[in-house]
Structures are given as structure tokens and as C-alpha cells.
């Protein structure tokens, strides 16, 4: 049953939150495989379970039942230190609110993930510069987040997610705080990442036109996947 | 890794300069107070120690009259029971005693040429300087020959020399005590003040026989100074002297002593005990302020953890382990405490110096106390930084990322 070559393999995944005595189910048995190099958009209303799903995918939250394999490795049974290792090496996060460190230069923000994997400072520097240039901010490396536009801040965040060369980037409403033009630019950046660098992307959004950039759209409702459509050609 | 954590900590502290400084101020004052207070305490102890040394080592003083309460007694030296022969007998017959010197004292007006000065005249034997650990700086001391013919020779203290002769050489000069001319044969080295502030150098020493016959016109002596061969034999010497004098004074078994043997070192030791207590007291009060400083650090670190919840979430999301977060906050607290400690040392040493200069109190800054203060302030950082750091490291990254 289990496809060994899948990047992500999820079986019967359940997540139940306890609010005092009441049990609130957030995910009610999800089965999903995501292959290397896919660009997946996760859609659904708030409360549909998509955020919980993303948290579990990002090794930030533990499932109540079921299995989650990342590159064939069962993740649910790992220690929190091993999770930190996975977040550092395998997963990059891009958030709606950018989540950059305030009063810290773009360069240092991008260097942040490499501070937790023992890279030498020269190598950190080199890779952060390279990645910032890749996202088109090679001339803004010393700017603080408050000196950058929203789109530029999100590019810094993308560079930070990218810098440790993860196999998976998770983006939680990355265009939610941006105007449509800047949002489109960020989406093009993601598309480039996916097509040229072959990085697997999972993106949460509630905007249909943003989801069209992906080549697979998954809909969540009441903790279940209601539809899973592939379109070979993403939006140009 | 460590260097980087240190850099992150320094940057975090720089971001809130005033707050970091105010937090450090608790440690600065704490460490400064510990160093200054200990310096004062140690200074007082050193002074007392020096005073004990200036009394001479292992000195007993025998004075007339019992030290027990009861009965009417005349003042010091008024009782005519001690004789110079007692002093000789003690020196010769008590094995634990090395040297003994009779002593008579009276304040007199002394005249030299056109100068005059009131000073303490002491009648002693040639052994006296050895007993008191005193040296003759120039010339000679009283010799046995001076005793035999009650010679009119005097050895003067530094203060007397300065006041009567200024820059002139006093040796062989003549001074008049009660209109009797005395030739100066020696000058004593400066000895400084006693614990009670008496200037020990404001004195003139003459042979005790001269003092008895020519100045005071009495036949007894006022006290006997004795040096014991070693500190261990003080008690033995005290007992033997008591037995000998009781026998010589023909005191019956049921009668009280008509003399008292005083141990000067004991008296000084009691006063050094008091200083010890004072030093400990000062040190512990100062330590409390160090503790309060530590609590200040803990308080600010807790605030900082709350304020930087989102930063902690971001760091965790990009791969920081719990212990990375914990280390970051502990290092921050330790840097703050150690920096405060270093500034506190500057403050402590500086204020000790000021106290010494302006209040003329003796201070003694001990390097080991400085090292200790630095170590303690670092320890305060670890101790009071631990709880906030642990709190930070246990945050749920999902919650932390959502924190506004």
C-alpha cells in the first residue's frame, strides 16, 4: 500500500483537540500522498482542518492517530529534537504575516535557519547572499524588515525557507497580506521554485485564483478531503 | 555556536539599552556593595591585626590590684605591691617567661631649648623594646649600666623628636624633665597609633630606676611587662607568675591576689572578633542586595520571554531545539549579570578608594573577593535566568507563532 517513493505519505490521520471535557475533531481520517516536485494548493473554509493539517505536515503538531511519513520516515514517533532537525533540514515555512525577526537585517533573517545546523559563518553568509539574490533582493541585504515592502519581506521569508535546501516548503496563505499584483509576483516566485528547483510546495489559500498556480488542488471540509484534482498545467 | 549565542545575546541587550542597564544596576550595586563592604571589614581586621602585632607577641602585663570586683581600690599604680625585684624574679624563675621589664609612667612637661612638649615618660628596663617588638632607629636604648646609677639618659619617640627638635638631630641633645637635665641617647622607630587612637610615638623612655628615684620618688613599680617564649605557653606562664607572686607577696590560700596578670593579646583578639562579626555582617547585607539584583534579572527575563514569544516561535519553526532557545536566554541573563558584575567591581573598588581617601578608613581590597563576586554574579545569572529560559524553551511553536 505504502508508496515508498512518495515524499509525503499520510494514512488515516486524525487530530482531536480536547477543550476541557469536549473533544473537538479537527482531522477525521485523512489519506494523502504527495510526490516529489508537486505543487499542491490546500483550500477550505476556516475550521475545515487545513491549518491543523499544515501544522502536522510541518512537524509542529502531533497527530492523535494515523501515520505521517516524510521521505519514508514515520514522523509521529520522533522526539521534539528530531522534529527540530526535520524543520531545519527538510521543511521551509512561509507565513501569511512574514514572521521575520524585527530589527534584524534581511541577510541575518535568511541566515537564521543555518544558525541551528552548525554551518560556519562564512558559508552561512555566502548561502544567504546567494539565496537573497535568487529571490531578487541581492541589493537589499542590509535592510531591516520595516524598511522593506510587504512583497520584499515575503521574498526574504521565501529565501529563509529556501536557504537550507529543504525538500518541502509549506506556505500558509503567503499572499494573504499582499495586494493582488505583489501576490502574483510571489506566486510566480513559488512557481519558479517548483519548476526550476524541483522543490515540493504545499500552499494553503482560500483564493481560487492563487490556488490555480498549483498543479494540484485539495479541498478540505470538516476535517476531511472532499476533492483532490490534478491539473497538469498550472496557471501562467 | 557559543560565540554566536553570545552575539545574539549582546544584540538583544543592546536593543533595550536602558532596560538592560537598569537591570544590571541591581547587580552593579550588589557586587559594588559586597566589594566595598568586605574591603572595609577586611581593612578593620587588618588594622586590628597590626595593632596586635604592635603590642608585641605573647605579652603579659602584671598590674597591682585584683581584677575581681569588690572592695575599694585606688587607681592604676596607686597600690604599692609590685617591686622591680618581682620583675627580676619572674624573668629568672619562671621557665615560660623570656623577658620581663618593670614599667612606670607619668605625663610630664618636657623642655628642650626654647621648645616644650607634654608627653608620657616611661621608666623601663633594657628588655622593654624586645618585649614590645620595638626597634631603636638611631643611637642606642637604655643599657644595664644606666639602671645601676639611675643615669639621666632618655630615648625619645618619633613624635617627641619631631615636636621638640624638628629637623635637628636630637642625639646627645639635652632635655629637661621636672627641671632635671637628660641626655638623649636614642630615637625609637615610629610605631603608629594604638587601637584607641593613642599615639605610641609620643613618649620618652628613661631607665626605671631613674624614673623611681629622680622623677616619681617612689620605690615600687606600676606594672611589669613580660614576654612569654611561645603562644602555647601563655596560660602556663600566667599560672606560674601568679604562683610565684603569691609566694613572694606572702598571700594566704584563702586571700585574693593583690595583682592581676593581663593578656594583651586576648584583649586584642576580642576586639578582632568584633571586627570579624562586623565584616561578616557587612558582607551579608551587601549579599542581600546582590540577591535583589538577581531577582531583577529574573523579572526582566520573564518580561523579555513574553515580549519575544513570536521570535521564539520563528526560531523554533526554522529548527531551533528547546535547548537552543534555553541556552540563548540563559546566556543573555549571564551576560547581563556578568557585565553588571564587572561594572560592580569597578564601582566597588572605586568606592573603597573614595572611602579610604575621604573618610580615612582603612580598606583592604582582596583579589579573591573580586574573583568571587564575578563568579557569584555569573551564578546569579544562571540561577535567575534558568526559570525564564526554561519557560521560553517550553513554548509551543504553533502558539508562539500566533502570539500578537
Residue reference for cell 612637661: B109
Closest CB to B317 among A87, A89, A102: A87
CA angle centred on B97, ends B93 and B98, rounded to 5°: 110
B314 touching A, CB under 8 A? yes
Grid cell in block for residue B165: 627638635
Grid cell in block for residue B310: 513570536
* SS3 category, A192: helix
Is pLDDT at B234 greater than 80 in this prediction?
yes
Distances, alpha carbon B180 to alpha carbons B151, B153, B188, B211, in Å = 11, 11, 21, 11
pLDDT in tens, A78-108: 999 999 999 999 999 999 999 999 889 999 9
Tell me whether residues B319 and A89 touch, CB distance under 8 A. Answer: yes
What is the ipTM, given to two decimal places?
A: 0.93
Instruction: Determine phi and psi for B185, rounding to 5 degrees.
Output: -110, -15
Grid cell in block for residue B309: 514569544
Q: Do the Cβ atoms of B389 and B329 come closer than 8 Å?
A: yes
Measured distance CA(B389)–CA(A159) in Å, rounded: 29
Cα nearest neighbour of A95 on chain B? B401
Q: Which residues form the domain of A116?
A: 37-63+81-230
Name the interface residues of A facing B (CB cutoff 8 Å). 55, 58, 60-61, 80-81, 84-85, 87-89, 93, 95, 99-103, 112-113, 115-118, 121, 160, 164
Helix residue ranges, H only, B182-321 = 208-210, 234-248, 264-307, 309-317
B4 touching A, CB under 8 A? yes
Percent of chain B whose predicted confidence (pLDDT) is above 90: 43
Closest CB to B321 among A81, A100, A118: A81
List the single best residue of A26, A105, A116, A165 to mutate versus B (max B Cβ within 10 A). Answer: A116
Q: Do the Cβ atoms of A58 and A200 come closer than 8 Å?
A: no
**CA of A190, closest CA in chain B: separation in Å?**
19
Grid cell in block for residue A157: 521569508
Cα nearest neighbour of B310 on chain A? A99
Measured distance CA(B7)–CA(B136) in Å, rounded: 64
Closest CB to B319 among A55, A85, A95: A85
Q: Do the Cβ atoms of B239 and B80 come closer than 8 Å?
A: no
Least Cα distance to A80 among B386, B325, B311, B301 occurs for B325
Grid cell in block for residue B78: 596607686
Tell me whether residues B318 and A112 touch, CB distance under 8 A. Answer: yes
Tally the residues of chain B.
404
Least confident range from A51-60, A224-233, B116-125: namely A224-233
Tell me whether residues A99 and B321 touch, CB distance under 8 A. Answer: no
Quick one: pLDDT at residue B370? 87
pLDDT in tens, B34-59: 888 888 888 888 877 777 777 777 88
Let me know if residue A5 belongs to a domain.
no
Quick one: pLDDT at residue A233? 60
Tell me whether residues A95 and B311 touch, CB distance under 8 A. Answer: no
Let me know if residue A101 belongs to a domain.
yes
Give the residue extent of every domain in chain B.
2-51+270-402, 66-257
Tell me whether residues B321 and A80 touch, CB distance under 8 A. Answer: yes
Let me know if residue A28 belongs to a domain.
no
B68 falls in which pLDDT band (50, 70, 90)? Answer: very low
Domain containing residue A126: CATH number: 3.40.50.300
Is pLDDT at A3 greater than 80 in this prediction?
no
B274 falls in which pLDDT band (50, 70, 90)? Answer: confident
Quick one: pLDDT at residue A113? 94
pLDDT in tens, A193-206: 999 988 999 999 98
pLDDT in tens, A205-218: 988 899 999 999 99
Quick one: pLDDT at residue A1? 47
Tell me whether residues A55 and B398 touch, CB distance under 8 A. Answer: yes
Q: Do the Cβ atoms of A42 and A53 come closer than 8 Å?
A: yes
Residue A140 vs residue B272, higher pLDDT: A140
List the single best residue of A84, A121, A160, A162 to mutate versus B (max B Cβ within 10 A). Answer: A84
Q: Give the count of domains, chain A.
A: 1
Tell me whether residues A116 and B313 touch, CB distance under 8 A. Answer: no
Percent of chain B whose predicted confidence (pLDDT) is above 70: 95
Is pLDDT at B268 greater than 60 in this prediction?
yes
Quick one: pLDDT at residue A76? 84
Q: Kindly tell me the sign of the dihedral angle through the C-alpha atoms of B389, B12, A154, A116.
A: negative
Residue reference for cell 537552543: B324
Grid cell in block for residue A75: 514522523
pLDDT in tens, A6-56: 899 999 999 999 888 898 899 999 999 999 999 999 999 888 989 899 999
Grid cell in block for residue A7: 515524499
β-pair partners for B102:
B224
Let me know if residue A75 belongs to a domain.
no
Closest CB to B1 among A101, A102, A118: A118
Instruction: Determine phi and psi for A41, rounding to 5 degrees.
Output: -105, 130
Quick one: pLDDT at residue A232? 66
Let me know if residue A121 belongs to a domain.
yes
Let me know if residue A42 belongs to a domain.
yes
Measured distance CA(B404)–CA(B398) in Å, rounded: 12
A53-58: long-range contacts (C-beta < 8 A, 24 or more apart)?
Answer: A53/A13, A53/A27, A53/A220, A54/A170, A54/A172, A54/A202, A54/A204, A55/B398, A56/A13, A56/A15, A56/A27, A57/A8, A57/A168, A57/A170, A57/A202, A58/A87, A58/A91, A58/A93, A58/A170, A58/B317
Amino acid at each position: 500500500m505504502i508508496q515508498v517513493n512518495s515524499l509525503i505519505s499520510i494514512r488515516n490521520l486524525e487530530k482531536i483537540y480536547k477543550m476541557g471535557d469536549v473533544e473537538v475533531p479537527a482531522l477525521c481520517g485523512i489519506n494523502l500522498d504527495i510526490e516529489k516536485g508537486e505543487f499542491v494548493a490546500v483550500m477550505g473554509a476556516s475550521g475545515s482542518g487545513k491549518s491543523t493539517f499544515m501544522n502536522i505536515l510541518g512537524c509542529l503538531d502531533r497527530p492523535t492517530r494515523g501515520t505521517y511519513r516524510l521521505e519514508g520516515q514515520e514522523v509521529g514517533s520522533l522526539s521534539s529534537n528530531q522534529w527540530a532537525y526535520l524543520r531545519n533540514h527538510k521543511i521551509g515555512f512561509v507565513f501569511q504575516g512574514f514572521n521575520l525577526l524585527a530589527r534584524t537585517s534581511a541577510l541575518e533573517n535568511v541566515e537564521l535557519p543555518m544558525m541551528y545546523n552548525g554551518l560556519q559563518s562564512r558559508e552561512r553568509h555566502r548561502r544567504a547572499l546567494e539565496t537573497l539574490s535568487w529571490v531578487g533582493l541581492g541589493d537589499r541585504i542590509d535592510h531591516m524588515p520595516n524598511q522593506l515592502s510587504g512583497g520584499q519581506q515575503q521574498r526574504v521569508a521565501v529565501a529563509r525557507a529556501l536557504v537550507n535546501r529543504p525538500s518541502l516548503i509549506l506556505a500558509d496563505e503567503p499572499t494573504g497580506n499582499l495586494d493582488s499584483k505583489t501576490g502574483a509576483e510571489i506566486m510566480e516566485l513559488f512557481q519558479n521554485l517548483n519548476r526550476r528547483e524541483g522543490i515540493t510546495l504545499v500552499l494553503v489559500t482560500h483564493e481560487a485564483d492563487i490556488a490555480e498556480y498549483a498543479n494540484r488542488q485539495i479541498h478540505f471540509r470538516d476535517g476531511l478531503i472532499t476533492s483532490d484534482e490534478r491539473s497538469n498545467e498550472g496557471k501562467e | 555556536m557559543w560565540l554566536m549565542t553570545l552575539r545574539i545575546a549582546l544584540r538583544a541587550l543592546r536593543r533595550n539599552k536602558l532596560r538592560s542597564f537598569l537591570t544590571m544596576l541591581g547587580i552593579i550595586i550588589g557586587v559594588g556593595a559586597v566589594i566595598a563592604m568586605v574591603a572595609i571589614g577586611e581593612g578593620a581586621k587588618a588594622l586590628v591585626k597590626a595593632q596586635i602585632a604592635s603590642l608585641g607577641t605573647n605579652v603579659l602585663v602584671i598590674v597591682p590590684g585584683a581584677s575581681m570586683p569588690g572592695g575599694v581600690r585606688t587607681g592604676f599604680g596607686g597600690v604599692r605591691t609590685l617591686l622591680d625585684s618581682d620583675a627580676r624574679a619572674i624573668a629568672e624563675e619562671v621557665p615560660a617567661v623570656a623577658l620581663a621589664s618593670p614599667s612606670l609612667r607619668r605625663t610630664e612637661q618636657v623642655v628642650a631649648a626654647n621648645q616644650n612638649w607634654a608627653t608620657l615618660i616611661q621608666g623601663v628596663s633594657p628588655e622593654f623594646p624586645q618585649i614590645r617588638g620595638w626597634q631603636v632607629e638611631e643611637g642606642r636604648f637604655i643599657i644595664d649600666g644606666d639602671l645601676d646609677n639611675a643615669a639621666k639618659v632618655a630615648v625619645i619617640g618619633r613624635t617627641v623628636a619631631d615636636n621638640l627638635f624638628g629637623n635637628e638631630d636630637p642625639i646627645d641633645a639635652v632635655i629637661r624633665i621636672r627641671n632635671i637635665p637628660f641626655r638623649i641617647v636614642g630615637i625609637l622607630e615610629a610605631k603608629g597609633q594604638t587601637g584607641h587612637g593613642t599615639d605610641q610615638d609620643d613618649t620618652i623612655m628613661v631607665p626605671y630606676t631613674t624614673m623611681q628615684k629622680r622623677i616619681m620618688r617612689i620605690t615600687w613599680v606600676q606594672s611589669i611587662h613580660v614576654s612569654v617564649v611561645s603562644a602555647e605557653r601563655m596560660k602556663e606562664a600566667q599560672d606560674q607568675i601568679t604562683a610565684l607572686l603569691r609566694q613572694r607577696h606572702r598571700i594566704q590560700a584563702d586571700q585574693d591576689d593583690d595583682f592581676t596578670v593581663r593578656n594583651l593579646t586576648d584583649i586584642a583578639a576580642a576586639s578582632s572578633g568584633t571586627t570579624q562579626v562586623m565584616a561578616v555582617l557587612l558582607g551579608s547585607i551587601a549579599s542581600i542586595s546582590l540577591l535583589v539584583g538577581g531577582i531583577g534579572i529574573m523579572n526582566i527575563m520573564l518580561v523579555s520571554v513574553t515580549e519575544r514569544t513570536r521570535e521564539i516561535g520563528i526560531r523554533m519553526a526554522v529548527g531551533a531545539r528547546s535547548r537552543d532557545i534555553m541556552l540563548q536566554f540563559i546566556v543573555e541573563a549571564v551576560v547581563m549579570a556578568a557585565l553588571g558584575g564587572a561594572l560592580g567591581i569597578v564601582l566597588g573598588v572605586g568606592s573603597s578608594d573614595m572611602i579610604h581617601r575621604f573618610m580615612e578608613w582603612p580598606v583592604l581590597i582582596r583579589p579573591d573577593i573580586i574573583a568571587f563576586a564575578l563568579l557569584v554574579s555569573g551564578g546569579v545569572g544562571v540561577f535567575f535566568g534558568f526559570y525564564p529560559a526554561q519557560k521560553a524553551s517550553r513554548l509551543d511553536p504553533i502558539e508562539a507563532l500566533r502570539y500578537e
